[in-house]
Structure 1
């Protein structure tokens, strides 16, 4: 059975950098059997309604500004998979999860930066999914859980975001010591993921140390894909930290495998 993954997509510059984290991601896609398709929940696609893509071939979205011009030349022409999209819709109906179909939107950098390193030839079909940061963690987990059966059909489910992602707190240009508050938050998250303690994780904002810095109140969209990915492995509750590193003092690059 395919695992589900939570993958930090970091800053857009990852797409053209060569560092410890990009080297890890370049190898990660080779450690699993080749998936039939990928379902990806991106922090950069927020919607109050759960969106399910039905796209034949995706455009590449450059949803950032002021970066190296090379980034704006990158293309990731992934194709969709209408049959998997249909299965997603059927599972949502069975589980009472309202949704809307999206037929035009391309892949944002939360999706293509990660996918391009895992599968550089863009030859694995992708179904792009929105996230709703206004939902409770329990509801986000339930959406992921409703898709768990697809993992047995060689479908890889990914949540793309970041556990510590506060752009007001990062120290751009500083790749020295990691800020202690970020480590404390990630260590707390890691402990409760390893024990599958959803009761505590669902209350991370009040229980986890330094949660107000790691997941700022003005934006939790990068953290919540963790719950979608975790829920997708509810039928096999195992969590493994595959990688953790940091950039700019506290921007976490963590990869979790569930199931």
Structure 2
């Protein structure tokens, strides 16, 4: 079986499910272009655990883990099956690399998982296993965790890190238009990340909080960028990189994605 790419996507606001903007067409196209996986392992900042944990439900529920949004969002679901067998396999790989992992047999899919998956794989006919973000975790730790799970890509599993290229809710105004002018700090930060990923500068990326312009403004806390480092670790240093430009929503939510082959 050919090795699958690993992928990072920005899932943005829950409203991505209703307001497609510039990112939804990109995610739809990306789902069509990717080789069909046998299963999907997801890594989202919206499920954190002390130590690693894996969703092992045979039929994970759709979790509406947000409040105050359009009522239509709460009627949406993503009825993909789970894969307890894949969860067991991931647990073994993680444990071998020093990440003891518990199985969570009733865990569902948070919005960081099901919202992009509804766009990428709308038929919900591929099993999905969510991996919790161990906490505390930093960029180097996320990269190492991705490295531990790299063998899965050769076994037909799509490793999908889902987070946000920029994520500052402290400054976010929920009345902002989807197509609002882009904040200058977002442009500077996004360009730095793009260039560092393109040249394969892993050391600079892992040290982004010191080196990237406006890093602490783009990410007051860095959990939403950690899935990018996880995907980089799983892909390995020699992976070919393809940027999937998703534009910027609401002036401050950069929606880029990358595939690493």
Normalising by the smaller structure, the TM-score range is: over 0.9
* RMSD, aligned α-carbons: 1.4
Structure-1 residue corresponding to 2:166: 164
Q: Distance in 2 between matches of 1:100 and 1:236?
A: 31
2:139 is equivalent to residue 173 of structure 1: no
Greater mean alpha carbon deviation, residues 202-211 or residues 81-90: 81-90
Q: Distance in 1 between matches of 2:233 and 2:138?
A: 13
Q: Describe the SS at the equivalent of 2:33.
A: coil
Structure-2 residue corresponding to 1:211: 215
1:47-105 residue CA offsets vs partner (Å, 9 max, x unmatched): 22111121100111111111111000011111111221122122122222222211111
Structure 1 segment 23-172 matched on structure 2, within 5 A: 23-132=25-134, 134-171=136-173, 172=175
1:133-160 residue CA offsets vs partner (Å, 9 max, x unmatched): 5222111111111111111112100111
Q: Describe the SS at the equivalent of 1:173.
A: coil
Q: Is the 8 A contact 2:83 2:128 kept in 1?
A: yes
Q: Describe the SS at the equivalent of 2:224.
A: coil
Instruction: Count residues in correspondence.
Output: 257
Q: Describe the SS at the equivalent of 1:183.
A: helix
Q: Distance in 2 between matches of 1:169 and 1:132?
A: 27
The structural deviation recorded for 1:235 is 5.8
The structural deviation recorded for 1:227 is 1.0
Q: Is the 8 A contact 1:133 1:221 kept in 2?
A: no
Q: Is the 8 A contact 1:196 1:238 kept in 2?
A: no
Greater mean alpha carbon deviation, residues 230-239 or residues 116-125: 230-239
Q: Is the 8 A contact 1:3 1:151 kept in 2?
A: yes
1:88–1:226 CA distance, 2 compared to 1 (3 A): same
The structural deviation recorded for 1:17 is 2.1
Q: Which runs of 4+ in 1 moved over 4 A?
A: none
Q: Is the 8 A contact 2:26 2:244 kept in 1?
A: no
Q: Describe the SS at the equivalent of 1:127.
A: strand
Q: Is the 8 A contact 1:58 1:105 kept in 2?
A: yes
The structural deviation recorded for 1:19 is 2.7
2:207 is equivalent to residue 200 of structure 1: no
Greater mean alpha carbon deviation, residues 95-104 or residues 205-214: 95-104
Structure-2 residue corresponding to 1:254: 256
Q: Describe the SS at the equivalent of 2:81.
A: coil
Q: Is the 8 A contact 1:162 1:222 kept in 2?
A: yes
Greater mean alpha carbon deviation, residues 246-255 or residues 125-134: 125-134
TM-score norm. by structure 1 comes to 0.94
Q: Is the 8 A contact 2:51 2:135 kept in 1?
A: no
Q: Distance in 2 between matches of 1:52 and 1:65?
A: 25
Greater mean alpha carbon deviation, residues 127-136 or residues 200-209: 127-136
TM-score norm. by structure 2 comes to 0.94
Q: Describe the SS at the equivalent of 2:72.
A: helix
Structure 1: runs of 5 or more not aligned: none
